Amino acid sequence: MPLADHLLLVLVGLLALSHNGQSHTDEHQQKDPGTGEGSPSLQIAPSNTDFALSFYHLVASQSPKSNIFFSPLSISAAYAMLSLGARADTWAQILEGLGFNLTEVSESDIHQGFQHLLRTLNLPDDKLETRVGSALFLGQDLQPLPRFLNDTTAFYGSKVFHTNFLDPEGTTQLINDHVREETRGKIENVVSGLTPEDVLVMVNYIYFKGLWEKPFSHSKNYPQDFYVDEKTVVKVPMMFQDKNYHWYIHDRYLPCSVLRMDYHGNARALFILPDKGKMKQVEEVLTPEMLSRWNSLLQKRSFYRKLELYFPKFSISGSYDLDEILPQLGIRDLFSREANLSGITAQQDMLVSKSFHKAFLEVDEAGTQAAAATRLSTTFLSVPHNRYILRFNRPFFVVILSTNTQSILFLGKVVNPMES
């Protein structure tokens, strides 16, 4: 099947760590992973959702008129893995910043939850391809503690590469080649600006490729107006279908419409379209509780309706400096000389000198393609009140979910679909 007929989502989180003075060797105990009763991934899903929405609102407050697209799962998995090497306040700040209440959930449960989540997402599926992975690129002189390497491999399936940071160009090529290969060529040149002072780079990626259960026709695609704001109108290729049934509600309590679009396999998208002029009002109540409410309502048969559906064909991207954003969520010491990463190595202290996230989303008739070095993208449809017509011709939100793990894979807002 040609690539254009697929939905592809790729994600990479990068952390480059630098030397920082003296060393500490204290360790907190890490239990061996286990399956436990029920699904461990469901135990961490609420915290992951809390983090996703907290991160979204912070980014949205700083850039209210910009497209937003990111993968909260990629960020959470990368930093939870990094917490295996953190100690004292640094350790607590990372996990609490990721939304975990450490008086209610144990460190062991957190890592076992991610272990189960990642293994579930990576299961082979002929209908939907989701791949999540991590890699550690270690400097030749770095002597990591065995426990750190063992735990990152056991819980997060991380691959380990030994490299020479005294050759920044060669190391950059090694990392970029690995990411390019793991993301099927969709992410290139994710790393740049490495220096001989860097001693460790951590990479996390997510690759998502799927097809709509009810695709759009390639022949029904016409340029139409998209109203970015009161003064800005752009032309977008608008896809159309009028013979299919979809899960859809116009919220009786909030000024918005919500459309559920399923992919083949265990994934779905929720597209939330605020009524004209009501973007801020809906955005303010974009909470885990509201997402859960919409998700529940959109499983009721009474909301399964035949629709005229207008959906923009587009691609957008997002790029975020996590070392500037995460301190505002409480993860402060990690990026300063107060960082305690003595669980990684006993040689010297380290701090995180660079951390970024890039994400990309492309939506077409058959589905969505996306690639990311931590980046997220969205698609939405819009609905009038009386007739069942959904016309996504103004800014909207998108949430892409893994249904069997109840995890948000991607989250974003499409303000201008013509700005990639």
Asked whether residue 354 falls in the same domain as residue 322, the answer is yes
Rounded-to-integer distance, Cα 224 and Cα 305, Å: 24
Examine the pLDDT at 254 and tell me if it is beyond 90. yes
Domain assignment present for residue 389? The answer is: yes
The pLDDT confidence band at residue 136, using thresholds 50, 70 and 90, is confident
Examine the pLDDT at 377 and tell me if it is beyond 50. no
Query: What mean pLDDT is predicted for residues 5-9?
Result: 31
Mean pLDDT of the chain: 82
Asked whether residue 201 falls in the same domain as residue 333, the answer is yes
Asked whether residue 79 falls in the same domain as residue 101, the answer is yes
Asked whether residue 106 falls in the same domain as residue 233, the answer is no
Asked whether residue 87 falls in the same domain as residue 234, the answer is no
User: Could you tell me the two tokens for 325?
Assistant: 């954003």
Most confident listed range (24-33, 196-205, 260-269): 260-269
Contact (CB, 8 A) for 171 and 200: no
Asked whether residue 299 falls in the same domain as residue 357, the answer is no
Query: What mean pLDDT is predicted for residues 49-54?
Result: 97
The pLDDT confidence band at residue 387, using thresholds 50, 70 and 90, is low
CATH code (residue 386): 2.30.39.10
Asked whether residue 112 falls in the same domain as residue 169, the answer is yes
More confident residue, 291 or 18: 291
Query: What mean pLDDT is predicted for residues 382-409?
Result: 81
Examine the pLDDT at 12 and tell me if it is beyond 70. no
CATH code (residue 344): 3.30.497.10
Query: Using only C-alpha atoms, what is the Rg of the chain?
Result: 21
Rounded-to-integer distance, Cα 211 and Cα 351, Å: 41
Asked whether residue 243 falls in the same domain as residue 341, the answer is no
Query: What mean pLDDT is predicted for residues 318-346?
Result: 90
Share of the chain above pLDDT 90, in %: 48
The pLDDT confidence band at residue 16, using thresholds 50, 70 and 90, is low
More confident residue, 81 or 387: 81
The pLDDT confidence band at residue 17, using thresholds 50, 70 and 90, is low
Strands 350-363 and 7-19: antiparallel
Specify the number of domains making up the chain.
2
Contact (CB, 8 A) for 116 and 194: no
Range of the domain at 27: 3-211+315-361
Asked whether residue 383 falls in the same domain as residue 345, the answer is no
